[in-house]
């Protein structure tokens, strides 16, 4: 087998692995359970609010959801 043919096979192999990886991740993201959500760092949020000099106060017209 010529050297150039070897390199082409290696290149195709690497490309195939990358494409398979992308397909795998995309499939996982569709099949992931609905409970998987973006996590909010609440302590970080509170810290940023304090640093901005803001003072949260309870608002009106809201309700707690079951």
Partner 1 sequence: MAKVVECQLCKRKCRLREGERGDCRVRLNLDGKLQTLVYGKPCSVHIDPIEKKPLFHVLPATGSFSIATAGCNLHCKFCQNWQISQRAPEETENYDLPPERVVEQAIKNRCQSIAYTYSDPIIFYEYMLDTAKLAKQHKLLNLMITAGYIEQKPLLELCPYIDAANVDLKGITEEYYQKMCSAELQPVLDCNITMRKQGVWVELTNLVVPTWNDKEEDIRKLCRWVVNNLGPDVPLHFSRFWPQHQLKNLPPTPIGTLTMAWEIARQEGIHYTYVGNVPGHDGNNTFCPTDKKLLIRRIGYSILENNIVDGRCKFCQTKIPGIWKIENRG
Contact residues for partner 1 (CB under 8 A)?
Answer: 37, 40-42, 45-46, 48-49, 52-65
Q: For residues 61 and 48, what is the distance between their CA atoms, to the nearest angstrom? A: 25
Nearest to 56 by CA among 64, 47, 39: 47
Residue 25 or 66: the one with the smaller Cβ distance to partner 1 is: 66
Residue 34 or 59: the one with the smaller Cβ distance to partner 1 is: 59
CB of 26 to partner 1, least distance (A): 26
Q: Which residue has the tokens 């609010």?
A: 49
Residue 1 or 40: the one with the smaller Cβ distance to partner 1 is: 40
Six-digit token pair at 8?
A: 């082409």
């Amino acid at each position: 087998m010529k050297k150039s043919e070897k390199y082409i096979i290696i290149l195709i192999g690497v490309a195939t692995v990358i494409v398979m990886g992308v397909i795998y991740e995309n499939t996982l993201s569709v099949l992931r359970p609905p409970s998987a959500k973006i996590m909010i760092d609440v302590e970080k949020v509170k810290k940023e609010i304090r640093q901005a000099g803001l003072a949260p106060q309870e608002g009106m017209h809201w309700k707690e959801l079951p």
